[in-house]
Chain A
């Protein structure tokens, strides 16, 4: 079942008298992203594929796409991929990794997928210490279905299903799933990153590289949360989302390693 991909490749590889220092990774397909302007999803896609390129593991990498805006992640990532049901990505990844233990397996999920409907799968996958990388995009909203409240939506945050702001009385508190997962012995590396500025992107890349390295060493589950934006769902310009992330999201979801291996830098 092949997917038609209009090629839109227009990426020059040379400029007069200069060295190429940065270009679109090879393992990203040529297809232009369908995401809204300024969305973090495609940044994370790109960085993930950059890491696959640099580690030279395209032929050994298998990804699992979620249900949500990134449901079509497999259109962009030029690695073998499976599309899972909502919430089930880590169970699917478990199935793949268990029968192909020498491959690099990652799951990619949003907050509704990983921290609401798939909570059981999330916790038990980590609890088994499945030797996979779990990428978690936390933007506090259901983007694809039109901006509804997510388990990670901030208290008071307005969404289409919390039009007066999230109220604890009815919706409980935003769930800090990464913090919960650190309690499980199966979690080897748990970190929270963001791609709101160039340094954030650099740090994410390091975190993903380390995660694949740990997976190669069979260390257990690596969990990389990326606190992300949703310009359309938040009803902001992409530039405004950077401010919102810094002022509203990061205080609740502070960036940095939540659990790192003993002796790791």
Chain B
């Protein structure tokens, strides 16, 4: 890891957290404000090591509460900024995220999720799905949520996250997990300097005589005005729906569709292979953006398949969105493990087979 400024196209072996951190430098972040927490401390460590040698600024804050508010200030001043944390720390950031969403500031937050609730465990989990896609803090707002499934995407989604955040003036989140953060894979890093800076005429940079003073606020005390701001936000979220991204694997002839994101989608890829060997027509739909969610595509697929199964590392969160998407056209099942445990491809296949057995019993 001695030469960090590798050119584009050169494959490197990196940890997910480090690939994300390196991509942040290559995305020309102006500042990173963070606080250590397992399993994502490598991000802060990497940036503390690399940024002084290269460009940008990194501050270890006194808490996640402080770091997200530093993000608010710096983003409001027109800077490209990011932070990262893991579940308990992200909970502490929810107040700040609500303010950032309301004040319509772009920024990127990575959540390297660990098992919960509470202090939980440091093992990987997807238990923060609801918190990430439904808002998380108080009030009606959404983050743009990207779910990487590889170390490559841990790096790529930093660029995608900033692109979306800045396009819509909305906080974006990379929702990943402890396993993706810790595991090493081949990665081709995005090219440094390839993410253009956007104009921020709304930012607080000091008021010249030529314009009115800029104010970054989330306070709209008159209910009429507050509703107007809410309408504006909802309009924006409608537009963001066009940014939906998903990946389909062996969907064309599928009679059974697994729906899984992030690490669970990697597991389900293997399940698809195992099932196909047994002659079961199983496919996989992997939402890449969790907000916006591929409601439309899932609804279409419901016309084609016998049933769907959401596979998650939690007690069943995304499954609720899958059910909303298919509007009762087909049954939606769930297979999950919790608290830092990871389902195996065989576990998922077993669940599919048990559903098929039950259906057969019902038919006989």
Contact = CB atoms under 8 A, between A and B. Distances in A.
B65 interface: yes
Nearest to B215: A74
Interface stretch (A11-19, A85-93, A175-183): A85-93
B31 interface: yes
Interface in B55-95: 57, 59, 61-63, 65-67, 69-79, 81, 95
A124 B66 contact: yes
Contacts of B206: 58-62, 79-80, 100, 103
A99 B79 contact: yes
> For the side of the interface on A, what is the size category?
35 or more
Interface in B27-69: 30-31, 33, 57, 59, 61-63, 65-67, 69
A80 B205 contact: yes
Interface in B328-352: none
A71 B77 contact: no
A21 interface: no
A80 B78 CA distance: 12
Contacts of A83: 103, 215-219
Given A99-B31, A99-B81, A124-B62, A82 B207 contact: no
Interface in A61-98: 61-62, 64-65, 71-72, 74, 77-85, 88, 91-96, 98
B72 A95 contact: yes
A94 B73 contact: yes
A59 B206 CA distance: 5
Interface string A99-131: 110010000000000000000110110001000
A92 B65 CA distance: 11
Interface core residue of A82, A88, A120 (most chain B CB under 10 Å):
A82
Interface core residue of B30, B75, B76 (most chain A CB under 10 Å):
B76
Contacts of A264: none
Given A79-B207, A99-B79, A93 B73 contact: yes
Interface core residue of B31, B65, B66, B103 (most chain A CB under 10 Å):
B66
Contacts of A20: none
Contacts of B215: 1, 3, 74, 80-83
A197 interface: no
Contact of B66 (A59, A81, A88): A88
A82 B76 contact: yes
A71 B59 contact: no
B97 to A, nearest CB: 11
A98 B204 contact: no
B229 A1 contact: yes
A79 B205 CA distance: 10
Contacts of B33: 95
A145 interface: no
B77 A100 contact: yes
Contacts of A77: 213
Interface in A11-43: none
B212 interface: yes
A2 interface: yes
Contact of B204 (A71, A81, A120): A81
B73 A74 contact: no
B9 interface: no
A91 B70 CA distance: 5
A29 B263 CA distance: 54
Contacts of B229: 1
A64 B229 CA distance: 21
Contact of B74 (A79, A88, A95): A95
B292 interface: no
B95 A85 contact: yes
Given A74-B215, A81-B215, A88 B76 contact: no
Contact of B69 (A2, A91, A99): A91
Contacts of B73: 64, 82, 84, 91-96
Contacts of B69: 84-85, 88, 91-92, 95, 121
A96 B213 contact: no
A124 B33 CA distance: 14
B157 interface: no
6 contacts: A1-B229, A74-B217, A78-B207, A92-B69, A95-B33, A98-B70
Interface of B: 30-31, 33, 57, 59, 61-63, 65-67, 69-79, 81, 95-96, 99, 103, 204-209, 212-219, 229
Interface of A: 1-3, 58-62, 64-65, 71-72, 74, 77-85, 88, 91-96, 98-100, 103, 120-121, 123-124, 128
Given A82-B77, A88-B72, 4 more contacts: A78-B207, A80-B205, A95-B77, A99-B77
